[in-house]
Structure 1
Amino acid sequence: MESFLRVNETNEHFYERCTNLSYFDCSEEEMLWWMMGPRRLPLQEIIPISVVLLVIFLTGVVGNVAVCVVIVRHPGMHTATNYYLFSLALSDLLLLLFGSFLDFPQIV
């Protein structure tokens, strides 16, 4: 926000000039920043979010691979219900591998 403040301008003055319709003196970039927030998350928010998403990813991959391996290796597990669970684990694994990285926050 400091990059949008003019010389000797406080946050209140910035808010006033970007929200006062009778005296509107706000650029498009300033207005977008005011309404939508910064384009990048600060590093102190990126790191915990990334760690949580990485733990979810690794837990999902390990758990779904374990389910698939157990069902394939043990002949007693070859039932219709377990084939259905195998299918669900495989689809969840594919979603984790190919779809998870689209949800990671943008650093740049």
Structure 2
Amino acid sequence: MLGIIIKTVLNIPLISWLQGNGSVLATALGYSASILYMFIMIKRHAGYSFRRIFKRFILIGILTAIMAVVAYLTSQLVSQVISYEGGIVQAGIVILISMITGGGVYMFLSYKVGDY
């Protein structure tokens, strides 16, 4: 209920300020408030500690950032050899190689980190 109230209150001002992006931002803020409230209630009533989940969340974020950098660099290098502007097949090849490289790095690092 909290999220709906926040979204409703923020929707009109943010839409008039940011147009279509305002609606997206209002939705994200309402959803985030609902999630935060849920975590607070779980901690209060179940006594659950979110420390391990938070650490894992940070680790996933770091691994994702590394994967994104590797995929971007791979696409830049491969596009020097295969022009993605040459057509849909060439663009698909560049994307496929970048996805395989980025995904491979993510899987390798996830395996090396193990059970964090």
Return the index of the structure with the highest Cα Rg. Answer: 1
Larger RCO (alpha carbons 8 Å, 6+ apart): 1
Q: State TM-score, norm by structure 1.
A: 0.35
